[in-house]
Structure 1
């Protein structure tokens, strides 16, 4: 089985079904006639930049994020508006707080955009640390969050 074919099927399955675990994904692949080991699935998930995201019911499932998508900046702005609760800059670092379980998804979008003002991201459950090459870069990153964050989500 060629990797491209397997990964294409993985993307199709993730877009078609709410898949929450690698075991579920392996079972769906097997039903489609594709047998793959857990290590292969794990590697595919990493290569394809698949992240877990909560849906409206609070259930987690896999989602695929692609770099270079024309709508990626709009997705970033929408995600900031829908998930960011607080943000601050400390010199060349921007610290962003999100609703629970959204930090990884937002960091993946930022990573995909490959912004010059962001040298790297670290994401946890509800916090992202964005490291910028300089303080002016960090200030421009903060300005994006200030522009698009929804004040109604701010932590009190």
Structure 2
């Protein structure tokens, strides 16, 4: 039953933009699965699903390969522990990191594949990010602040 449910979850998120665990549970129920939100939460962890930004600026569940997930988790950890400041001007975002950590922070951002980021450029302790537009800039800055707990 678990294997079938996991296969159905992957199928659902590949076809639909599922934003919440409850939405995923509803989709599974409509497919005949008797499921609770707690089970969906465990399934998400076991499948190593991630949330990525969609074209509407909201998040949806997506799959990732185990190797990518492991590396991505490591990079996000490094990012969260080394970025000390974030600010923006127009479509530019500036991150300040501890000395020597900017390349890893830029790599983490690149691996997270935030919508709206055109590119990153890293020095020793500074990362410049170019966003597509000012609205994307605001969203990206909010996400980064949330990640680093600012």
The partner residue of 1:151 within 121, 146, 149 is: 121
Structure 1 ranges of 4+ moved more than 2 A: 120-123, 127-130, 148-153
| Deviation by residue 1:64-95 (Cα, 9 ceiling, x = unmatched) | 11225xxx5xxxxxxxxxxxxxxxxxxxxxxx
Note the residue ranges of structure 1 that are not aligned, 5 or more in a row.
Answer: 73-107, 113-117, 131-137
Any idea what SS the aligned residue of 2:60 has? strand
Note the residue ranges of structure 2 that are not aligned, 5 or more in a row.
Answer: 83-99, 111-118, 131-150
Question: 1:27, CA displacement in angstroms?
Answer: 0.9
Indicate yes or no: 2:71 matched with 1:110.
yes
TM-score under structure 1 normalisation? 0.50
Indicate yes or no: 2:102 matched with 1:122.
no
| Deviation by residue 1:97-147 (Cα, 9 ceiling, x = unmatched) | xxxxxxxxxxx36247xxxxx6x8527xxx4448xxxxxxx99x84x94xx
Any idea what SS the aligned residue of 1:36 has? coil
1:1-156 alignment, distance < 5 Å: 2-68=1-67, 108=69, 110-111=71-72, 122=77, 127-129=79-81, 142=104, 145=107, 150-151=120-121, 154-155=128-129
Alpha carbons 2:120, 2:129 under 8 Å: kept: no
CA gap of 1:21–1:5, structure 2 versus 1, over 3 A, is: same
Any idea what SS the aligned residue of 2:66 has? coil
Alpha carbons 1:14, 1:63 under 8 Å: kept: yes
TM-score under structure 2 normalisation? 0.52
Alpha carbons 1:65, 1:109 under 8 Å: kept: no
RMSD of aligned residue pairs (Cα, Å): 3.5
Q: Give the length in aligned residue pairs.
A: 98
CA gap of 1:63–1:154, structure 2 versus 1, over 3 A, is: same
| Structure 1 Cα separation of the partners of residues 2 and 66 of structure 2 | 19
Alpha carbons 2:48, 2:66 under 8 Å: kept: no
